[in-house]
A and B are shown apart, each in its own frame.
Chain A
Amino acid sequence: MDMKESENNCREELIALKKEYEEFVYIVSHDIKTPMRAIINIATWIEDDLGSNANQDILDNFSLLKNRVVRLENMMNALLEVSRVDKTKMELYEVNIPKLVNDCIKMLDNKSNVEFHITYHLKDENCITLGKKLEKVLFSLLDNAIRFHDKEKKNVIIEITENDADYEISISDDGPGIPEEVRDKIFSIFYTVNSKDVVDTTGAGLTISNKIIKMVGGKLHYAPTVSNGSLFKFNWPKTISI
């Protein structure tokens, strides 16, 4: 009796804590946005009033100021997004997998020197799933593959295989790969392998993708490819129970 009771208490406490955490993250990131927007606006006004003839150092510093506040804003947005993963865009609808992949590719920036190699092993091209969530994961992984690539000509390989109970999806590239020492950190929010001055990104794409995949009952793995590029592989269950 005691064991059962304490188990229930623990579970209830866990649920309450989770709720409190998510509310906290939402409130913080939502309310902080207003004064942050104000800072960007005021910096822009001062820049504007100074005119282009002002001291270049001053103008440079305003540029830095605005850039850092935008970064702050992006981090807040990322935090907000992570906390809302299981709250928004949770509709189940029929998705055509090749079309979804193509739509994601269309939304990518800087894909001019990218060659996509896509292979499908599907019994049925359509499935009913959390379309917007799958789209988010695919887009984030593809976006990362391009954004962190170090070569002029980039190759991104997409492979989707349908199994009885799930889909196996892998996205790999011939980019620089992720050093072994930091592989366990890459799913932490805001972690970036390079300094944010080198590649401008909030570093939340993997965190959000990982959370979504866990939410639907799948798992996300990283492995290096033979050419020392990155391979991200995950399974997406056909039946989602949340």
Chain B
Amino acid sequence: MTHRLVNILLVEDDEIDVMNVKRAFSKNNIKNPLFVAGNGVEALEMLKSVIIPLPRIIISDINMPKMNGIEFLKVLREDEKLKNISVFVMTTSNEDSDKIDAYNLNVAGYILKPLSFEKFISSVATLKNFWQLCEM
């Protein structure tokens, strides 16, 4: 993530959480182009034609209408062009079953949405540092 800023796709249906991500990105000076899809179906459409080049990072919630995060992840992993994108789950679900499903589909991280905005800003700061270490 050094010379060219990779595209990031956020798959999230709650408008407050979308705002949270945008604000936390801005607070942390994350300037990557951010694309937003409201659910898995919309995300797949965007990945097919809208986002060029393809994002290297996807942040996805689990509980969403039409196609939830786990189903979306399954489709992603079965697609030759999309399967090696790094996916970070960001959700309120603390259910072990969701964590198992997500890690079985090889997400790079499973993050619980923190209750306070300040904590969220700090989590995004940690994510940013981690992304800067990774070669994508």
Contacts and interface: CB of A to CB of B under 8 A. Distances in A.
Chains A and B come from one and the same complex: yes
B90 to A, nearest CB: 13
A143 interface: no
Nearest to B23: A45
B116 interface: yes
Interface string A14-46: 000000000000000000011001101110110
B131 interface: no
A41 B14 contact: no
B16 A38 contact: yes
Interface residues of B, number: 11
Nearest to A39: B16
A84 B51 CA distance: 44
Contacts of A33: 92
Nearest to B115: A37
B20 A41 contact: yes
Interface of B is mostly: helix
A40 B16 CA distance: 10
A40 B20 CA distance: 11
Interface of A is mostly: helix
Contacts of B133: none
A106 B113 CA distance: 27
Contacts of B103: none
B14 A34 contact: yes
A173 interface: no
A73 interface: yes
Nearest to A49: B23
Contact of A40 (B92, B113, B116): B116
Contact of B117 (A34, A45, A73): A45
B115 A45 contact: no
Nearest to B117: A44
A40 B14 contact: no
Nearest to A37: B115
Contacts of B20: 41
B19 interface: yes
A34 B61 CA distance: 14
Given A40-B116, A45-B23, 6 more contacts: A33-B92, A37-B113, A38-B16, A41-B19, A41-B117, A42-B16
Interface of B: 14, 16, 19-20, 23, 92, 113, 115-118
Q: Which 7 A-B pairs have the closest CB atoms?
A: A38-B16, A44-B117, A41-B117, A41-B16, A41-B20, A37-B115, A45-B23
